[in-house]
A and B are shown apart, each in its own frame.
Chain A
């Protein structure tokens, strides 16, 4: 055994120790340690920080819907099954958080229309991405997920949209009923993501019962519903349930595209502070001993809402029951609200 073989042995040993270090210990993404507000209320609250986002552009679909592709830092979120959230941590191979929005450019109404993403390299698919419908304070209602890319460089991202999953009414009647797809050319550079700001929220404001203002006007609309006073029809009052705001309206006749005659009961369920539509929920209304299911609908006047055409004129106060909370994945600030949702009593017309 000479000096050289000792040195070589030592080199191998050190290498093994270093490799063993990360093999022996469990590892996680540094983003797992992103600050989460302590003592979060069971309500919408101000999170610890908010991220800026970058854009890969906008595209118009053949049916005149518009869609956009955005990115930001990979971050944790909560998926929702039934009435329980489950936390999704950033995984170690995530490259960024990808976000898709689709909306009607005429009215700005956001379309609940499930997309899937496919990453193409030189025209060949290399990854496919599940995109969750999500609720975030700055971005509002959108679809997104943390995604892994094989590396930096040029790709295409094909976004395929399902036909719209809700009833279409008013000027939306009969629209968005076919699958559509479009392709974005992207140049993924980690440094582009790293150039985005993360705005920290002052420690003494974190956890307060308020929300960050959504980004309005500079990209995809956040999916806000109209102000209460701008909704058509007569007021049935409003109420809150697990911090969600439910606004009731009674229209003399259903909007175009809704089957049935007579009055139309519409319930607009939205987040407090920002009026983001709370989609993917199931609601029913009880009055005079009857219970009717409300159908999730988009309308150019009412925006996103849950509604039903009534056979008989409504003359008592309806109670709105929430059968299942919004099945939307949540970003920080929304993951503790809209779960245990008691019913809401509206007013008589």
Chain B
């Protein structure tokens, strides 16, 4: 046991020392399209492998904690706060007003405002506000979306529920819709053509309202609406969680161990897609990524098709790797529990990984364009030359640390889940090997991607 501890501490220290010596820059196709510049590039295989080592080490360390009571004491802390009904009503009203105002602004300024992405409030609200900001709020604090969701507000005023939502469909419609959104974000100039973005938002509005009217508001926004599922899943990592009469404060990710976030394979697919999407968006904005894409387009394949195939392949590979890990885990642990059950029992940690990745890809982007967003918001039709923050070089370390923290949290949660799921300690530890291996691979890949300088995707 001492040997394990020493090894863990040593690899941790080595990792921190190496991280401190290397510069990194965020990669994402959106941030490549909007403003921020990729200039620093150093890190390498060593850097990525170190990150992988940290995950391996944290896996070993967490396996030392097999005492159920200790685990429960660590995970189970919670403090509830009741919110009076009146305050909740006001909050709902205010949130709804802000949400609808935001939607109207995105469409109006997108269509009639300046047709330049970096000074158009519509573009900034969608990407800096929604894709980066609200998502970060969702996993760092708590899910703000149910309070704001403008579509749900509008849908709640309309008649709905003319058809039964097919149970079999699960969350698959949201998975499909998110794949389409990610693909559109890559193949269309959404960050540089505000009117196009506004038109897409109008199209999304029509699609969402039609869906909600047809199948019923509750089930649509729980199952089929990609944005609601997106924020709900990211929000599941956060310390603030909604309860029946208010909110409660819990340790980061503790809710993921409860095992009620996922109830079928389609939800797991959505969680895998969150991780795959970030890897994909990041990879295509790097030089090796653009090289792969251009080598295929040079053969005469149109780039929208190349991107569609690459996105589906990335998602497919990630999903396959995850299911394989679940299957291996079942064999190793020699359990009668089904692969399917293990699959969604262990999917919670994926969200912690996604949160870490998301911060690495969009944390700097949000910080950099925050003054731009607030300046443009004050005068959306006449702000010509707003400022942006120049990211200091140390910010690269924050991004790398975000990825590592996400993974360490994931390893820890997977461990907690294993202890909960299996009666025997050895069985619980064995079940985790394959998941930890998959996470080490994910970490290496993602650290490598954020280490590369950003270029504009083709």
- A residues near B (Cβ < 8 Å) are 21-22, 25-33, 35, 38, 73-74, 90, 92-96, 152, 189-191, 193-195, 197-198, 200, 203-204
Which segment, of B5-13, B110-118, B342-350, B416-424, faces chain A?
A: B110-118
Q: A199 CA to B390 CA in the complex, in Å?
A: 26
Q: A25 CA to B372 CA in the complex, in Å?
A: 14
Closest 7 pairs (CB-CB, A-B) = A194-B114, A33-B35, A190-B382, A190-B384, A27-B387, A25-B389, A26-B390
Q: A87 CA to B338 CA in the complex, in Å?
A: 63
Instruction: Give chain B residues whose Cβ lies under 8 Å from the Cβ of A94.
Output: 385
Q: A277 CA to B412 CA in the complex, in Å?
A: 69
Q: Is the CB of A30 within 8 A of B388?
A: yes
Given A27, A31, A73, A194, which contacts B389 in the complex, CB threshold below 8 Å? A27
Q: Is the CB of A22 within 8 A of B388?
A: no
Please tell me if B455 contacts chain A, counting CB pairs below 8 Å: yes
Q: Is the CB of A30 within 8 A of B381?
A: no
User: A25-B367, A191-B382, A194-B384 provided; 7 other pairs, C-beta below 8 A?
Assistant: A28-B390, A30-B119, A31-B385, A33-B37, A95-B384, A190-B384, A194-B116
Give B369-394 interface residues, CB cut-off 8 Å to A: 369-372, 381-392
Q: List 5 A-B contacts (CB under 8 A).
A: A27-B390, A33-B34, A90-B385, A193-B384, A200-B192
Q: Is the CB of A33 within 8 A of B388?
A: yes
Q: Is the CB of B389 within 8 A of A198?
A: no
> What's the dominant secondary structure at chain B's contact region?
loop
Q: Is the CB of A203 within 8 A of B385?
A: no
Q: Among B115, B189, B384, which residue has the most Cβ atoms of chain A within 10 A?
A: B384
Chain B interface size band reads 20 to 34
Instruction: Give chain A residues whose Cβ lies under 8 Å from the Cβ of B384.
Output: 73-74, 95-96, 190, 193-194
Please tell me if B36 contacts chain A, counting CB pairs below 8 Å: yes
- Rounded to whole Å, the gap between the CB of A208 and the closest CB of chain B is 15
With contacts A33-B36, A190-B383, A203-B456 known, is A22 near B115, CB below 8 A? no
Q: A152 CA to B114 CA in the complex, in Å?
A: 17
With contacts A21-B370, A194-B116, A203-B458 known, is A30 near B387, CB below 8 A? yes
Q: A94 CA to B384 CA in the complex, in Å?
A: 9
- Rounded to whole Å, the gap between the CB of B131 and the closest CB of chain A is 18
Give B325-371 interface residues, CB cut-off 8 Å to A: 367, 369-371
Q: Is the CB of A198 within 8 A of B392?
A: no
Given B35, B116, B386, which contacts A198 in the complex, CB threshold below 8 Å? B116
Instruction: Give chain A residues whose Cβ lies under 8 Å from the Cβ of B386.
Output: 29-30
- Rounded to whole Å, the gap between the CB of A5 and the closest CB of chain B is 21
- Rounded to whole Å, the gap between the CB of A131 and the closest CB of chain B is 19
- Rounded to whole Å, the gap between the CB of B355 and the closest CB of chain A is 22
Instruction: Give chain B residues whose Cβ lies under 8 Å from the Cβ of A22.
Output: 371, 387, 389
Q: Is the CB of B385 within 8 A of A74?
A: yes
Instruction: Give chain A residues whose Cβ lies under 8 Å from the Cβ of B389.
Output: 21-22, 25-27
Q: Is the CB of A197 within 8 A of B115?
A: yes
Q: Is the CB of A27 within 8 A of B388?
A: yes
Q: A190 CA to B381 CA in the complex, in Å?
A: 8
Instruction: Give chain B residues whose Cβ lies under 8 Å from the Cβ of A189.
Output: 382
Q: For residue B290, which residue of chain A has the nearest CB?
A: A203
Q: Is the CB of A191 within 8 A of B388?
A: no
Instruction: Give chain B residues whose Cβ lies under 8 Å from the Cβ of A152.
Output: 382
Instruction: Give chain B residues whose Cβ lies under 8 Å from the Cβ of A31.
Output: 118, 385
Interface string of B425-454 (1 = CB under 8 A from A): 000000000000000000000000000000
Q: A74 CA to B383 CA in the complex, in Å?
A: 13
Q: A22 CA to B372 CA in the complex, in Å?
A: 11
Instruction: Give chain B residues whose Cβ lies under 8 Å from the Cβ of A29.
Output: 385-388
Interface string of B108-130 (1 = CB under 8 A from A): 00000111101100000000000
Q: For residue B371, which residue of chain A has the nearest CB?
A: A22
Instruction: Give chain B residues whose Cβ lies under 8 Å from the Cβ of A21.
Output: 370-371, 389
- Rounded to whole Å, the gap between the CB of B247 and the closest CB of chain A is 19
- Rounded to whole Å, the gap between the CB of B389 and the closest CB of chain A is 4
